[in-house]
Amino acid sequence: MQEDTIQPAVGRALVDGRVYRLGGDIDLDDRVSWCPPGVQRRQAVNCYLIKGATGSVLVDTGVRLHEADILAQLGQLMVPGEPLSIVLTRTEMECCLNIPAIEARFRVDAVWYTGGITVPRSTAAPRRITVDPGTSMQVEVVDGVVLEFVSPLLRLLPTLWVFDPESGALLTSDAFTHGSAEGFDPHDGLQKFRWFTRADTGPIARNILDIFGERRVRAIGPGYGAPIIGAGKSLDQAEGLAMAISEMGLQ
């Protein structure tokens, strides 16, 4: 696999044809809650399709702005009648708003989620799962697709990172969101986590290093921002993010 820093093409394979990146771009500026001060640029908002032999898994569903694009991308990647399960990394709007539109076009068998503060309308079978912070759980989400749900300490609400052992892709929700055409600055992805300045962030930083130390991560797929491609670059970015979190916390 080529060790590109950025995978720009939405709808193309993230790793080995197994994991596909869906979605589109938004204007990133001070209207967006996770935007660092003074930034004005375009940013991708992503969801991901993991293809199995007999069914697929959609990790998050994207923002309403990209509904038509995501439906078209799914139509290109899935065969008619193919079973689909949805995994929500968080029950926040950028993760779940397109569930009704997707259900209207595709066979959605189940929606997996943690927490449950905001659970969207869905006719599929709900699969609420609890993974204790700092631990993980393997789940066969559809026949033949076994994923690891990782509950990171880097979180605001209950959050799942989704690791696909077959491809080595780690889908990180609202973490590792600091990639752009200008490069990767781990500090840019921490705007949501301003409470770190009042916390001992050492355990959070160590948890990130543990997650990567225990898995062969070949690509990082954030919920927004540019993906990180390649095992070496993924580890470098994990170490950089852990350092930024440590520096942001109480000393």
DSSP 191: G
Judge whether 163 and 146 are in contact, CB under 8 Å: no
Residue 126's SS3 state is strand
Q: Which two tokens stand for residue 196?
A: 């770190």
Q: What is the mean pLDDT of the chain?
A: 91
Give the mean model confidence (pLDDT) for residues 74-85.
95
Region of 116 (left: φ > 0; alpha: ψ -120 to 50; beta: rest) is left
Average pLDDT in the 122-129 region? Answer: 90
CA dihedral 205, 240, 236, 12 (to 10 degrees): 100
Q: What is the 8-class DSSP label of residue 224? A: B
Give percent of the chain with pLDDT exceeding 70: 94
Q: In the structure encoding, which two tokens stand for residue 41, read together? A: 């640029």
pLDDT digit string (tens) for 39-74?
898 999 999 999 999 999 999 999 999 999 999 999
Mean pLDDT of 73-84: 95
Locate the domains of the chain by residue range: 13-248
How far apart CA 227 and CA 188 sit, in angstroms, is 15
Q: What is the pLDDT of residue 46?
A: 96
Strands, E assignment, the chain: 13-15, 19-28, 41-51, 56-59, 84-87, 108-113, 125-128, 136-142, 145-150, 161-164, 169-171, 179-180, 183-184, 219-221, 228-229
pLDDT of residue 232: 97
Query: Percentage of residues in the chain with pLDDT exceeding 90?
Result: 77
pLDDT for the residue numbered 9: 43
Quick one: pLDDT at residue 115? 86
Query: What pLDDT, on a 0 to 100 scale, did the predictor assign at position 4?
Result: 36
Q: What is the pLDDT at residue 118?
A: 62
Which homologous superfamily is 13-248 in?
A: Ribonuclease Z/Hydroxyacylglutathione hydrolase-like (3.60.15.10)
DSSP class of residue 232 equals H
- In this prediction, residue 6 has a pLDDT band, given cuts at 50, 70 and 90, of very low
